[in-house]
């Protein structure tokens, strides 16, 4: 073995942290300095009303929405990946200059 397992684990953590920091720096703009947002369930069955909900943010100074991206909605089976619902939500948010904080959660049913 070229490197001890503990060293490799530490290197992976350091590289991951550096990647996160670099990612934030690369996409940093004025929107990242806005500390306010809202938690809204707009990515599940509520997708049909998501556009209306996002339009309502124009009335208040919020440009961030935290929402769940359910893993089971993305990966139905081992080889079946479907991003269409989330792509639709991202398109709506982008068209309205709203940033999403997606939380990828839950497991495949």
In this predicted model, what pLDDT tens digit does every residue of 50-66 receive, in sequence order? 888 888 887 887 888 88
For residue 105, give the H/E element and its range.
strand 99-105
Give how many domains the chain has, as a whole number: 2
Is the whole-model pTM more than 0.85? no
pLDDT for position 14:
83
In whole angstroms, what is the distance from residue 69 CA to residue 85 CA?
10
- The whole-number mean pLDDT for each consecutive block of 10 residues of the chain, a chain of 109 residues, reads 71 73 60 74 82 84 85 82 88 89 76
Domain range for 10? 1-29
Q: What is the pLDDT of residue 33?
A: 67
Q: Residue 22: its pLDDT value, please?
A: 65
∠24-28-29 over CA atoms, to 5°? 165
Give Cβ neighbours of residue 82 (< 8 Å, ≥ 6 apart): 73, 74, 75, 76
15/43 same-domain check: no
Same domain, 7 and 44: no
Predicted pLDDT of residue 76: 81
């Amino acid at each position: 073995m070229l490197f001890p397992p503990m060293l490799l684990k530490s290197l992976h953590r350091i590289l991951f942290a550096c990647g996160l920091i670099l990612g934030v720096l690369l996409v940093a703009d004025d929107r990242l300095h806005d500390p306010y947002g809202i938690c809204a369930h707009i990515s599940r069955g509520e997708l049909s009303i998501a556009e209306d909900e996002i339009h309502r943010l124009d009335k208040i100074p919020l440009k961030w929405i935290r929402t769940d991206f359910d893993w089971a909605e993305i990966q139905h089976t081992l080889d079946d990946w479907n991003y269409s619902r989330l792509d639709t939500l991202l398109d709506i948010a982008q068209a309205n200059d709203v940033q999403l904080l997606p939380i990828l959660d839950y497991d495949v049913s």
